[in-house]
Structure 1
């Protein structure tokens, strides 16, 4: 049996890495996001260690995400007006300062809940500009537009691989050096992505000059998202999943400590398991040769997420919870990455950053309220029942999307035919 088909499939799965700029991004971002996931786990564990409150875990998550949501429409307009590489260098430098400040306060044993909330809010401001900037900058890192969907999938794989590695390392670092060690490593890791951005040779985009003011551009972007059915439908579903399906991460320390009777290492195992599922999701997307068919994958992914959350709420056994977390990670990231890829394949270049800012808002607008809702509800009915309820809502969202699917496909088909992704009927 020839190995040539296997080799060709492997080469196809990583085709975006033939672009030098994307290679630099891959290695720099790969280092940085490991640090990011270490900080996420360390922050939740530090807050729970200081407060032992599911409600306050939700408050901390809300403080960063709501700021990103509020700034989203303004950030999208500004990103379209700025050099995106310079913008990302600035956001990464500020993020490094934020993480190093967390490290200094924690290692000095003087950090308080209010300082965590303030620094988390600062990170939310940074994310409001960084996420749409990063998503729209992918177009400039790949010279062949046909490789854009593969670049998005590989970018998701980077995030998902870090989701696996970061929490596992964080559990060991917290056990040996405390949460401050994780924040310090994260702060230093940002220099890798800053270096990769500075080493890139980027062709500037054609300047898009407009006489419209910021409010007019925001309105134009909103009208585009509101009236274009495929993007509107996907963003509504993504917002629902962010509201209900992502709140489990806020409650995970409660599951690790109270339901499974473990510690930081148990939390690391659970987050690491979700990373395994997410990594499998990312790798499966790199193997796809076309964006065609991803609309059905969104439907399936959201249903998997909902079912896995409901079963996770019923589990009191560590090994079963770990397996279910893998399915949660797969469903969550498969839905988010597939949605991102579909939107990027449909949106016009002059509105890309503004549309991606609404994609950011769909997450950061819903997720903070989901965190507050989950934290408050968990204090009343317990974390297991809360997670089961959020899972049921995800399944309901998948059913609604099923009825919308024929309508959005009818709109997408001529666009994909025009772009050569589907054959034109004769």
Structure 2
């Protein structure tokens, strides 16, 4: 049997992209773990924990539409290079503030907001860039799945390392390591041989292009409903990981390492799921997989919510990670492979709004509710929400395609452009 899991590595540019991002994402997860633990350790507040998640991710909700337009208008390679450089500067400033000043918690919040703004422009450009660094379009779905595997591997390694460093050297060291990790991705970008960018004339205003992107998804239910479903899951289910520091410190009476292990368990499950997705044959029914994994996520959260045995908690956390990974990776794959090239960046910006925009709102909601009913019952409610969402989108996820891969999207695009 021919192995297709790593087909995308035939492309030199993609190998560079993958290796640079792998190092950088480990640093990113180290910083994320350290920020959340630092806030909870200093405030002992579930609400403040939800608030820092909100501060970190909500700017992506506000600015992702603009980021999508920028990705479609300008050189995605240059935009990605710029955003990665800005991310490195943010991490360096954060490390200096924590290591060398008597900082307040609000300075951490402010720098978290800055990172959220940068991510709003980074995600659409960086995700769309995959289409340009993969030589063979037939390997695009494989490349997207491998990207997810890369992110999940970083999710496995980063928090575990961060937990140990938090105990031994403190949060500032985690931030400093993240700053240096960006050198890997910047170097990989500079070493790529990218086809020279040919500027295209843009006679339309940015807001008009944003409106076109919105109407494109509205008139393309196969993509629009995917974004809506992801938004619901991101708001009501995925923010369960907001409460992991509470479980680590209060329920399991652990330390920063305990928190790191919980995060890494989720990353391990997500990595396994991403590798399985990368191994899928072209033409696999991704929508049915979305439904199945949403049910699995509900079951995992149901068990995790009231568990008191740490070993069993790690196993259920891994199962939850396996299931939650599909919600983003499959949605991303469907959008990238089915959206027309003229709208891909804007479609991905709405994907970012649904994922990165709804999660901070959900994190704030999760933190607030858990202040009143406790972390276990909050996660139990998220388990129930997952089942309800699966039921609401059942008919859509199991519906049969009536047209070819791009036919309906192209028709809707032409209709949309003609109406404008």
Structure-2 separation of matches of 1:264 and 1:222: 42
Does the 8 A contact of 1:291 with 1:341 survive in 2?
A: no
Corresponding residue number in structure 1 for 2:380: 388
1:286-325 matches, within 5 Å, as 286-325=278-317
Cα deviation for residue 368 of structure 1 reads: 1.3
TM-superposed deviation, 1:415: 2.1
The one-character-per-residue Cα deviations of 1:280-310 (angstroms, maximum 9, x if unpaired) are 0111011112143111111111111122112
Question: In 1, distance between residues paired with 2:264 and 2:75?
Answer: 36
Say if 2:42 is the partner of 1:50: yes
Residue in 1 that maps onto 2:20: 28
Aligned partner of 2:150 among 137, 158, 161: 158
2:401 is matched with: 410
Q: Which residue is 1:196 aligned to?
A: 188
Q: How does 1:327-346 map to 2 (within 5 A)?
A: 327-346=319-338
8 Å CA contact retained: 2:339, 2:406: no
State the secondary structure of the residue aligned to 1:349.
coil
Q: If the length of structure 1 is used for normalisation, what is the TM-score?
A: 0.93
The TM-score, its normalising length taken from structure 2, stands at 0.94
Moved more, 242-251 or 148-157: 242-251
Distance 2:27 2:94 in 1: 13
For structure 2, the residue ranges without an aligned partner over 5 or more in a row are 410-420
Alpha-carbon deviation of 1:64? Answer: 2.3
Give, in angstroms, the shift of residue 271 of structure 1: 0.6
**Cα pair 1:244 1:391 within 8 Å, conserved:** no
> Secondary structure of 1:310's partner?
helix
Q: Which residue in the other structure is 1:14 paired with? A: 6
CA contact (8 A) 1:140 1:205 kept: no
Offset of residue 244 of structure 1: 1.7
Q: Deviations over 1:357-383 (max 9, x none)?
A: 000000122111101110000100001
Q: Which residue of 1 aligns with 2:210?
A: 218
Deviates more, 1:278-287 or 1:100-109: 100-109
What is the alpha-carbon distance in structure 2 between the residues aligned to residue 135 and residue 129 of structure 1?
A: 11
Matched-pair contact (CA < 8 Å) for 1:35–1:189:
yes
- CA distance in 1: counterparts of 2:319 and 2:54, whole angstroms: 25
> 2 CA distance for matches of 1:387 and 1:375?
11
CA distance in 1, matches of 2:349, 2:149: 21
* CA distance in 2: counterparts of 1:334 and 1:291, whole angstroms: 16
Q: Deviations over 1:134-176 (max 9, x none)?
A: 1111000011111110110110000000111111111111111
For the Cα contact (< 8 Å) 2:232–2:389, is it kept in 1? yes
* Partners of 2:74 and 2:199 within 8 A in 1: no
Superposed displacement of residue 205, structure 1 = 5.7
Quick check: 2:73–2:202 contact (8 Å CA) kept in 1? no
Structure-1 separation of matches of 2:270 and 2:66 = 31
Q: CA deviation at 1:204?
A: 4.0
Q: Distance in 2 between matches of 1:109 and 1:49?
A: 18
Residue equivalent to 2:91: 99
Match of 2:364 among 365, 369, 372: 372
- In the alignment, is the contact (CA less than 8 A) between 2:295 and 2:386 conserved in 1? yes
Match of 2:74 among 57, 73, 82: 82
- 1:328 & 1:406 partners in 2: Cα distance? 23
Task: Give the whole-Å Cα distance in 2 for the aligned partners of 1:304 and 1:205.
Answer: 44
Aligned length: 409
Question: Please, what is the CA RMSD of the aligned residues?
Answer: 1.5
3-state DSSP of counterpart to 2:393: helix
Q: CA deviation at 1:108?
A: 2.3
Task: Specify the alignment match of 1:132 in structure 2.
Answer: 124
The answer (yes or no) to whether the contact 1:76–1:357 under 8 Å persists in 2 is: yes
2:130 and 2:406 map into 1 onto residues whose CA distance is 20
Q: 5+ unaligned residues in a row in structure 1: which ranges?
A: 420-426
Aligned partners of 2:304 and 2:316 also within 8 Å: yes
Distance 1:21 1:33 in 2: 18
Contact 1:291 1:342 (C-alpha < 8 Å) held by counterparts: no
Q: Distance in 1 between matches of 2:259 and 2:182?
A: 24
Q: Which moved more, 1:152-161 or 1:327-336?
A: 327-336
**Cα offsets for 1:80-113 (capped at 9, x unmatched):** 1111111111111111111111111112252211
Q: Deviations over 1:1-31 (max 9, x none)?
A: xxxx3xx32xx10000110000001111110
Of the structure 1 ranges 376-385 and 108-117, higher mean CA displacement relative to structure 2 is found in: 108-117
Alpha-carbon distance change, 342 to 205 in structure 1, aligned in 2, over 3 angstroms: farther
- Give, in whole Å, the separation in 2 of the partners of 1:115 and 1:87: 27
